[in-house]
Structure 1
């Protein structure tokens, strides 16, 4: 509604300002019926808001068969024959020009390439994969507010969704190509680092990447198609936990060359819990008919046996006083608070910024200590505003670690890996710089130890547990369980990267297709996400209801086998969308 220029504090509007035109014009157009003469009252009377609302209700409930001058002789408001030229209709069947993204446009591209409801995975502008939330480990990225645009995940920093940024990836993954022309051997990474003119075509559900290098071209041209099967009217095959990476290799030279694709992938199973559980990453070579696979999983237990495992209690606040801490402001009391809630806290005392003054602000700073153990562990709860309510670790006066509560009174365990800071001086800082009564921070039981404080015993059924496979379709693959050593197992948290290689000979002008399949299997999805908490991960303590694909397959190897057996049909039906 437009305010009357003569507004004097009361709600008075002209009828033309209220409705955007005369009453007859509006109701003829909107209601499709004759406006009764009662509407054509004196303008002064229409200034009464109650009368206008009465008239509006009256018109809305007029009998539908009241004649209207705007109706045609067939009784329809819209002509049945549109008189649309056939050439105009045919134009909808003609494909428009293809958009090829290049240069800086590639940086912020991320196109979904996983099955429906099978987990989140994106292909970036250079063909590498990102946003690895396939292991029931997705975060609620929220939509952001001015003070809350960035947050931390278990694997590294992230951003809320309504921003422009390069899709994140903390998993080592990619492909190299090695070309041997008989005299020289050349290697290139298939990404933006080694190719200066990559083209990306994003026509869902298939992404096409063209690797071109103007400065130092190879004799073998490489194209890549990335997609997950997307089959019309087939929900199962459109929801496979798999991503297909189909390469096209073309020999542009005048002599025969050998080209080898070298795919590599880091074991990511349970990686989000690297600081919270004991166990080993394990990579193995598995061959099934027509498929060579690098199979990745997690096994419980811990082979570390050396060292002093006895934790050192830095502070548990049980004596009640604040000796060893420097306090500023009035958020924290002169003594530790009594634990009144939160059964996951330990003992009888803890630090709670809202226990003595809910609107106070302040800071607690520990006395300095030398980092000698590998981990600092503590319990925390409270508000999630990381910039104001937080726990920090200072090394030589510089903040290197930071965390906050998950919102409300739920207690979480935090393990900080501080191995890189051995021998340096550290301090712990607890902040409540918010005067809001609902904002607080609570901290308890700060430990120094050689290992993180572990959680959970039933790791086999943990939401993050499962398996992943990188497979080559065909019998000509070479699988390397560990690209950096002999052992096929490494402690959880250490990087275990395996590879799957494919070598082909190409005559001059010859074109060959090479197909890889990335598949995954994480069957223990909980019943709900903590959808109300921005920047927080899946709620993995809920009842396990599983993922739908667990009804169809028994492992990531089983998924790869299925894709191989039905590959031509899955590919052809997916390509119908192009």
Structure 2
């Protein structure tokens, strides 16, 4: 599980509590472990070579990559005996790993010891607070409880190799490594640095910087040079303040904390490992990257990181744990909460970067396909809800700034590919509406409206024949330029133009709102009439070119109603006719979802291994009509995509199934992905597409949104919940522009109670929309906050209750607003 700050590199926590991978040195390598594995696709003895971007870590998951030396051990003095145990799997009877991202808890069990030992590992992760979630540190907090009848003395030692310039400076003549012990009132630290023999060298090296191991508190000693292996003597070292060695020598520092624990008492020992490597790396070639990492705005070195974390440890840890507890305290299935949220951990890997200028930048997956690719990242729903400030900046700075052209087109990879992708263009306009809705006021929309309007008009302009259906050949996420009228692109563009119209209305741009509404209405009508084959939505070939080039044509394509799926994320209503939409989703379930994809993929070639024999999933495309050459006349390499299970697309469908009330299907599809990434098979936090920790996988959060029936508009002060499951006794977390907390509803007979409990920040409301579960007319309502009645008006339409407050109501942290019927 990633346990470093977002946009700070990758540090993994293994199942036994050891840290590994350590991709913090700005190599920007392709894949968490750049490798090529041999793989027998169909069990016929024919070996193929699979790269990281093609699923090498799906076929052969990486483990125990340890470029630097690090670990923890405990010495226990009990009844005259001295016991030393390392915190790794070999030294314990049993280890239990609770992976509740962003926090993991590990229990170390030895029934012969009178101790309960627990490790809580995390980096500060606080929704809405992207800066305090962007700290290059991992916290390792040990709790040790004495379950016996006598005093037990323990000492925990943590050690860390000085890895500064480890890869760029390797000979004795290159310079010196130094570990320095620094004692503060609130923490004891070992600072690791490197001094080059030639001061002009290594300025641009990715591993130039500093590292630090610290103990938060005062009851510890720092050791600048710690000898391994660990023995009893290791816990009684000679006291030194500073040690320097040549660059070709290993230097490992340590911090040791000692406590006596009385029977029944518990001690907590908090360690922090921090790093500070300012240079982003040479593979990211954009001007902003040359300024370095975002965290250097706050921290001068790794010691400064440790000092900050020690000073604010109570707040940083309590708010991180509060989010963990809020997220998992839900009536939704535990595994569902895991799967829909865990993919945001990609932000805490080298998939994702943030530069000193504040610009966010990402590969599609670790080290592969650069530049915030719009046709990939628009699927990702998590960041806009958890760290909306990052997405607002990305829309304004990149999509509507660096990438926006005079004709309204948006370069789909920023500086890397100077052309638009039509699906990415539409997704970014839709993202602008989401970012506006996740704002406290209309500043974002006002500031960016001229450019949002221009980007929306570009979409309208791609309809050559004026029927409301995009038909201009442009790049799309399947890495080809398709001709004709393509349902999944048409619907997505209609949704984007409809979103543009809604923003135009808010900006009182009535002429443009009318233009958007006319386009959307025409497109909706024609899409439903022309691109629906009686069972599902299709791709109508270009009238002149026909099927000469690649396309999905009369096949059943996974994204065929993507526009409607996006619309549910934003609460903008129907794009496609309900009955036809349901028919399309049921066709996907009938033809594309498979409990075992093995027989299907065995019939095809060219696919990448993102689901294997015996595993379930929804494949990208099927040919229910058994047409010859269903994907066109061209022998295109991209055809391999059609036979794959790419989890980001699957999550998008699952979110749509949930929104349309096909709850069992949504849960089954999500569970199939969850099972493919079960820990006994591979890393549960690494959903793989084009390389590791793929950005599109954050579409999983959209399924959570639709399970809650959640809609929110910060500037308008409106919120809606209409849960799709466990309606009679529902509970789930939610995030808004300025606060987060828990929503719950409970039905008892004809009575309902709806609770909005704010845990962090605040929530300002003007309108609340809820469901009357029994379908009866509500005779009366009451709204209270902290037992004080709040005046309101309400109306009911069918089962929807709309409550409007006479003036805006602010719910502060630790307060609850209760609606009772």
Q: TM-score, normalised by structure 1?
A: 0.48
Q: Which has the higher strand share?
A: 1
Higher RCO (C-alpha under 8 Å, 6+ residues apart): 1
Larger Rg: 1
Q: Which has the higher helix share?
A: 2
